[in-house]
Amino acid sequence: MSTGRDRTIAVAVGAFAFAVYAATLPPSYSDWDTAELQVVAAIFGIAHPPGCPAFTLLGYLFVHALPFGEPAWRLNLMCSLAVAASSSLLYSVARRFGLQPLTGALCALGFAFAIVPWRVATRAEVQDVALLFRALALWFALRWYDGGTYRDLFAAALATGLAGATHGIALLLLPSLGLLVASRPEWRRPQALALVAGGMALGLLPFAYLPLRSGWIDAHRLDPDLALGLPAGLPLWNYGDPSSWPRFWHFVTGADFNVRGGFAGFLDLGRYPYFAQQLGERIALSYGPAAALLALGGAAILVASRRLDGIALVLAALLPVPYTESYPDLQQSERYYLFSIWCVGILIGIAFERLAALFELRVRSVGWYAFALGLGASFATCAPQRMEIFDQRHDRFGPQFVAEVKSFTPDDAIVVSAWGYATSLGYAAYVAHTFGHRSVVVGGADQYLSYLQRWLGRRPLYVVSFDSKLSVAGWKVRPVKVSSYYAYRLTK
């Protein structure tokens, strides 16, 4: 893509998507991992493994640069911007594969307003930023494939490194990028190798944030949990305490999670029909059943052409699936399909134009427009529940939940909370500063049995849990609140 018109269309697609996303953002903080990221970006903390340092650094800049809206809303806005920019890139890559401008714009908008991208784009989510960096890496690698320009090679390596510093799922793009980079003989030259190594190293540099910031938090005792006698390494300030090399490596490799289970999925050939089914269902949900068939056709066309760029795009769409469906610790797997859905938007456009040519429909003829209208209708009608996303504008779950907890706990209470709700309490305590003098401890009461007696001697103890019949050995557990969660007071 090089024409002024194409640049204008790409920008218009992204701007329109961003405007709609911004209009559907939740106004405040949430819970679970979303609230964790909203906390970590605001306080310069350490997120859960693999730490996502590039996201944290960008989020901190975004949260503290914007002069309006709550910090949580500002981070949501950053993620919306990332997905909207990815929609623009989808148009650019579609044009690079030879699609007509109208087809490219239709597919880019189809992606932007598919239910999964739209929903994920309106919350603080690491995969939003990872999507943008992966799309940039693929775009620049395709430019290198076409022209062999060293600056494109460096940009592809830099974007790949930044994607990896955002989330380890970027590793699954490496086979596609390798095909594109190695397609040109220039890549063996020392200059090319140096640019790849330098770009990757620069992109991965945000990982240095983890041990540096962790050591600073420890040295200055910034984590309020330390005042309770707890060791370093608890969420939300300094998850895992990756201040030393052994802890850093343990942390970034996700050693406490079954990451190997995800990669083992690639060897489980008997599950491949299931993987294909899951991908097909996600595509149908995003683009409609008819468009899902077109996506299959587009993949077949590119593979049959035996062009490395086409094979690279198909690989980029497929490789996240076995990992996603085999990783046992994953929740809300739809977000791991984000880049696959992005690639599929291009595959759909390729098959659409090939089918239109088969029926001898001339571009911009009445028949061609009717055909395009049918594709647009598939995009628009496949997931009517996406209109519910507009209701997020009124979602104030976080502040309402915190107000409830404050209503049944005294101002000096220690609140031990399960992860899903502790992140909301952490936001209130560390970012909004609306939680009074209460302390937030992430986890279950059983994790802190050796501390409970000491704490109770000074302050009242409460537990927020998912357990409707909580019991703690040696303690009296009195229910004080039953809602979407269960709250208890602990006494002897």
Query: What pairs with residue 489 in β-bridges?
Result: 462, 478
Please tell me whether residues 282 and 378 are part of one structural domain: yes
Please tell me whether residues 383 and 471 are part of one structural domain: no
What is the rounded average pLDDT of the residues 26-55? Answer: 94
User: In this structure, is residue 238 part of a structural domain?
Assistant: no
C-alpha to C-alpha distance for 264 and 245, rounded to whole angstroms: 27
C-alpha to C-alpha distance for 44 and 287, rounded to whole angstroms: 38
- Tell whether the model's pLDDT for residue 224 goes beyond 90: yes
Contact predicate 361/352, CB 8 Å: no
C-alpha to C-alpha distance for 118 and 21, rounded to whole angstroms: 7
Counted residue by residue, the chain has a size of 492
Give pairs for 477-483: CB < 8 Å, separation 24+: 480/408, 481/404, 481/405, 481/408, 483/404
Please tell me whether residues 337 and 424 are part of one structural domain: no
What is the rounded average pLDDT of the residues 195-218? Answer: 96
- The structure's pTM equals 0.94
Please tell me whether residues 461 and 366 are part of one structural domain: no
Q: Provide CB contacts within 8 A for 450, sequence distance 6+.
A: none
User: In this structure, is residue 236 part of a structural domain?
Assistant: no
User: In this structure, is residue 242 part of a structural domain?
Assistant: no
For the domain that residue 481 is a member of, what is the CATH number? 3.40.190
Please tell me whether residues 307 and 427 are part of one structural domain: no
User: In this structure, is residue 410 part of a structural domain?
Assistant: yes
Contact predicate 110/281, CB 8 Å: no
What is the count of structural domains for the chain?
A: 2
Please tell me whether residues 420 and 364 are part of one structural domain: no
Give pairs for 218-227: CB < 8 Å, separation 24+: 218/243, 224/429, 224/430, 224/439, 224/440, 225/439, 225/441, 227/439
User: In this structure, is residue 101 part of a structural domain?
Assistant: yes
What is the rounded average pLDDT of the residues 471-482? Answer: 91
Please tell me whether residues 442 and 320 are part of one structural domain: no
Please tell me whether residues 355 and 464 are part of one structural domain: no
From 391, 406, 427, give the residue that closes a domain.
Answer: 391
From 365, 391, 417, give the residue that closes a domain.
Answer: 391
Residue 418 backbone dihedrals phi, psi, to 5 degrees = -60, 150
pLDDT score for 377: 86
Query: What pairs with residue 441 in β-bridges?
Result: 416
- Tell whether the model's pLDDT for residue 218 goes beyond 80: yes
pLDDT score for 305: 87
Please tell me whether residues 328 and 432 are part of one structural domain: no
Please tell me whether residues 297 and 440 are part of one structural domain: no
pLDDT tens per residue across span 368-381:
888 888 888 888 88
User: In this structure, is residue 239 part of a structural domain?
Assistant: no
Rounded to a whole number of angstroms, the distance between the first and last alpha carbons of the chain is: 70
C-alpha to C-alpha distance for 401 and 395, rounded to whole angstroms: 11
pLDDT score for 374: 85
User: In this structure, is residue 227 part of a structural domain?
Assistant: no
- Tell whether the model's pLDDT for residue 1 goes beyond 60: no
From 391, 421, 454, give the residue that closes a domain.
Answer: 391
pLDDT score for 3: 79
C-alpha to C-alpha distance for 451 and 439, rounded to whole angstroms: 14
Mean pLDDT of the chain: 92
Please tell me whether residues 115 and 143 are part of one structural domain: yes
**Residue in 153, 158, 163 with CA at minimum distance from that of residue 320:** 163
Contact predicate 125/76, CB 8 Å: no
pLDDT tens per residue across span 51-101:
999 999 999 999 999 888 899 999 999 999 999 999 999 999 999 999 999
Print the domain residue range for 48: 4-207+260-391
pLDDT score for 2: 62
pLDDT tens per residue across span 301-360:
999 988 899 999 999 999 999 998 888 776 778 889 999 999 999 999 999 989 888 887
**Tokens (6 digits) for 108:** 């880019």
What is the rounded average pLDDT of the residues 417-433? Answer: 95
Please tell me whether residues 270 and 334 are part of one structural domain: yes
For tokens 């496949």, what's the residue? 382
C-alpha to C-alpha distance for 63 and 75, rounded to whole angstroms: 6
Higher pLDDT, 142 or 306: 142
**Residue in 115, 197, 106, 95 with CA at minimum distance from that of residue 156:** 197
User: In this structure, is residue 300 part of a structural domain?
Assistant: yes
- In the chain, the percentage of residues whose pLDDT exceeds 70 is 99
